[in-house]
Structure 1
Amino acid sequence: MPEKNLRAIRAALVVPQDREAFDAGLKAVLDEVRVSSDLGALNAFVHRWWISACDSVRDPEGRRRMHAKAGQVLAGEPVSSGRPWREVLGARGCTDHTRSSCRRADRCDPRGSATSTRRAAHLAGSRTVERSAVQPR
């Protein structure tokens, strides 16, 4: 897993779309911090992108598939539907899917490994993901 700092996070992002979004987001959050003098926004940015960087290290091909699928959706191309992410996580034994109450939150937290696939599903306008897109930890 990458260290939780800007340089390590950016280095771990293997997909060009991730690096571009990271760079644009970093510029925006630094502008926000300059105006507000509140580092909370920067801390939140680092945390969100660290999760994506961890996902990128764990499953770089999954990140590429997510961006390819999002590109298809944005281009108006047909996209195959998958299983709902709650069903995928439920198959791992998770019933509530929140870190505070899930008995297996370390393996199925939807803010963890499913983050990238949920983003693709959101871009697709649905709550479904490809079965192979969510890999067990």
Structure 2
Amino acid sequence: MLEAVFAPTSVYDADTGEEVDFGIDVGIPDNIAEMNVLASDSEFVDIRVRLQGHTAFCPIGNSVEGAFTITVTRAGNYAILSGQHRQMPNHEIFLTSFGEGSTTIVYQRQYASPVCLVNWACPLAEMGGYQGTY
């Protein structure tokens, strides 16, 4: 089963670390979570994932977005072949092994700057080259 998880958005005070605001955007028609199988056989699957969404704190016309291609093998290996994402907010990709019930984080990056809420003001982060076992 392929699943995209959109978590609520929080804003924290940089000095104290306390949450100062919280928001969820519901029903925005241009939120996208697409996952397509590019190739597969009995030993592996290549998946292309594309996400685009708005948070309660994105300026109008901007969005949180990213896309990546990942290979997952039956033997328990993964490799992110390529991908990029905006550097806001924090990003995390994980795989869940349903047979064992375990979850493995395969990619994680903290946000670069609140400036990255404006699409043109922040370079994209590269995701290719991450690999390991799950």
| TM-score range normalised by the length of the shorter chain | under 0.3
* Structure number having the greater strand percentage: 2
* Structure number having the greater helix percentage: 1
TM-score with structure 1 length normalisation?
A: 0.24
Between the two structures, name the one with larger relative contact order (CA 8 Å, sep ≥ 6): 1
